[in-house]
Amino acid sequence: QTCILIGAPMDCGKRRRGCLMGPDAYRTAGLAEALAALGHKVVDRGNLAPAPHEADDPAAHPHRLNECIGWTQALMAEAGRAMDQGMPVFLGGDHAISLGSVAGVAAHAARAGRPQFVLWLDAHADFHTVATTESGNLHGTPLAYVTGQPGFPGFPALPAPIPQENICILGLRSVDGAERDALQASHVARHDMREIDETGIARPLQAFLDRVTAAGGALHVSLDVDFLDPSVAPAVGTTVPGGATVREGHLVCEMLHDSGLVTSMDLVELNPFLDERGRTAQLMVDLCASAMGRRVFDRPTRAFG
Kindly report the backbone phi and psi dihedral angles of residue 300, in degrees, each rounded to the nearest multiple of 5, phi listed first.
-60, 125
Q: In the annotation, is 122 catalytic? A: yes
Positions 237 through 266 that interact with ligand ARG (CB under 6 A): 238
Q: For residue 171, is the peptide bond before it cis, meaning its omega torsion is within 30 degrees of 0?
A: no
- Identity of the amino acid at 99: L
CB–CB of 119/220 below 8 Å?
Answer: yes
Specify the stretch interacting with ligand ARG by CB under 6 A; choose among 85-93, 125-133, 190-198, 286-294. 125-133
* Apex 22 CA angle, 19 and 25, nearest 5: 145
- Residue 133 binds which entry of ligand ARG, Mn ion, none, with Cβ cut-offs from 5 to 8 Å by kind? ligand ARG
Is residue 139 part of the annotated active site? The answer reads: yes
The residue from 11, 67, 78, 226 that contacts ligand ARG (CB under 6 A) is 226
Residue 84's binding partner out of Mn ion, ligand ARG, none, with CB under 5 to 8 Å set by partner kind: Mn ion
Which residue has the closest beta carbon to ligand ARG? 140
Stretch that binds Mn ion, among 39-47, 81-89, 190-198, 255-263 (CB under 5 A): 81-89
State which of residues 11, 67, 94, 224 lies at the interface with Mn ion (CB under 5 A). Answer: 224
- CA 260 vs CA 34, 103, 293: distances in Å: 19, 22, 10
Please, which of residues 123-162 interact with Mn ion by CB under 5 A? 123-124, 126
**Cα–Cα distance, 68 to 229 (Å, whole number):** 28
Q: For residues 172, 177, 183 and 185, what is the CA-based torsion angle, rounded to 10 degrees?
A: 150
Closest CB to ligand ARG among 73 and 238?
238
Give the residue, chosen from 28, 135, 164, 213, that forms a contact with ligand ARG under the rule CB under 6 A: 135
Peptide bond into 52 cis (omega under 30): no
What positions carry a catalytic annotation?
Answer: 95, 122, 124, 126, 139, 224, 226, 269
